[in-house]
Homo-oligomer: A and B are copies of this chain.
């Protein structure tokens, strides 16, 4: 009956490690209890339920990711900043696949609004200040960058690119070039919308 010293923080941290090892959807209250060599019910004093645990892991991941992003953007601008931010996402997903998956968890609006998720959008906006975009184009660009970063990382991790020939690092570099070019020459709205 020795006390192990469980806290919500330690559980969240261990849950994140577990996620990276076995996948976020394999993160279970039972598995976490095993990891602490403790009975399952004991966790319920620290975490409301399974959902709560997963949400905490997601928030941890979002915060870590935002911290890394802030770090990477510091002192950089233009294409350098673009590449730095992009690589933060890709590298984080590679180092911490479970956490990255957790960061994709759908949060309820209030939780999402209070999360580090908003910092991500702000940082992408900050990065775009190095390009010449005004609203609403800036928001469009924010969404495009988010889509490319998330989409690429997600497909690459899922093995979607594994069969084909060119190295994914090459593709990644070329995509960043392309985005840089695109942002420097952002096309004006067309006359005939959405053909």
Contacts and interface: CB of A to CB of B under 8 A. Distances in A.
A190 B175 contact: no
Nearest to A108: B159
Nearest to A78: B195
Nearest to A144: B175
A64 interface: no
A170 to B, nearest CB: 7
Contacts of A165: 135-136, 139
Q: Is the interface of A mostly helix, strand, loop or mixed?
A: helix
Contact of A194 (B106, B173, B189): B173
Interface residues of A, number: 58
Contacts of A158: 104, 106
Interface string A14-34: 000000000001000000000
A149 B150 CA distance: 11
A75 interface: no
A147 B139 contact: no
Interface stretch (A3-11, A36-44, A179-187): A179-187
Given A79-B195, A166-B139, A170-B136, A155 B160 contact: no
A117 B158 CA distance: 12
Interface of A: 25, 79-80, 83, 104, 106, 109, 112-113, 117, 121, 135-137, 139-140, 142-144, 146-152, 154-155, 158-166, 168-178, 181-182, 185-187, 189-190, 193-195
Given A176-B194, A185-B185, 13 more contacts: A25-B25, A79-B195, A112-B159, A117-B160, A136-B170, A137-B174, A140-B175, A143-B155, A144-B178, A151-B151, A151-B152, A172-B194, A178-B186
